[in-house]
Amino acid sequence: MTLSIFTLTSLLASGLFNSSFEVTNDTSHQQSEHATLYIVRHAEKTSEQSHADLSKTGKSRAEALKEILRDVALDAIYTTDTTRTRNTVAPTAKAKKIALTVYTPEPGKLAKTIFMHHKNHTILICGHSNTIPELLRSLGVRFKDALLLEYDDLFIVTIDSNSDGSAPRVYLQRLHYPATY
């Protein structure tokens, strides 16, 4: 059985991957570029202070994120410059030997950076409950209702950029990941 990279990524993130699948990276039939973004809110924090650290549950959730993304080949990890966001993705960055890229919490600017510099890349982004909805909108994700973010949300955004210059197609999957793995 052969799976596309998008399908495999979805299975990995949902914990439903079975090692009996064969993965191919044959893209000769495709005329588009794919970016895959894993977007999470920072894990639980110790207080409401602006630079609060992660709580015990938050640290556990950060480790769970590392395990969930263990088999995902990340090209970059973006985080805002707060202790809670950096510490949410730090275990994943350490395991994958990827330096954190700090971004200002301006979702429109981050979306432009992704569209310009990250075609065919897989990226982990850690943000906040008040920035992630705007980032998703800036990426082209449309949703009707207010997006209430929880600490366990894991958004997988796939962006298909066509070589003909037409508007990219954007797909969203919303999953949840546990505080322990």
Span 45-91, pLDDT tens digits: 999 887 889 999 999 999 999 999 999 999 999 999 999 999 999 99
Per-residue pLDDT, 83: 95
Q: Closest by alpha carbon to 124, among 114, 138, 133, 137? A: 114
Is residue 112 a contact partner of residue 140, using CB atoms and an 8 Å limit? no
CATH architecture designation of domain 32-176: 3-Layer(aba) Sandwich (3.40)
Residue 5 has pLDDT above 80, yes or no: no
Better-predicted residue by pLDDT, 5 or 164: 164
Residue 24 has pLDDT above 50, yes or no: no
Give exposure, 120-129, as e/b (b: 16+ Cβ within 10 Å): ebbbbbbbbe
Q: Closest by alpha carbon to 130, among 105, 104, 151, 109? A: 105
Is residue 91 a contact partner of residue 65, using CB atoms and an 8 Å limit? yes
| Averaged pLDDT for residues 84-108 | 95
Per-residue pLDDT, 4: 42
Percent of the chain clearing pLDDT 90 (strictly above): 57
Better-predicted residue by pLDDT, 82 or 14: 82
- Domain residue ranges in the chain: 32-176
Whole-angstrom CA distances from 146 to 106, 132, 137, 139, 165 are 19, 12, 12, 17, 31
Q: Provide the pLDDT confidence category of residue 32 given band limits of 50, 70 and 90.
A: low
- pTM (2 d.p.): 0.80
Per-residue pLDDT, 145: 67
User: What angle do helix axes 132-139 and 107-117 make, rounded to 10 degrees?
Assistant: 40
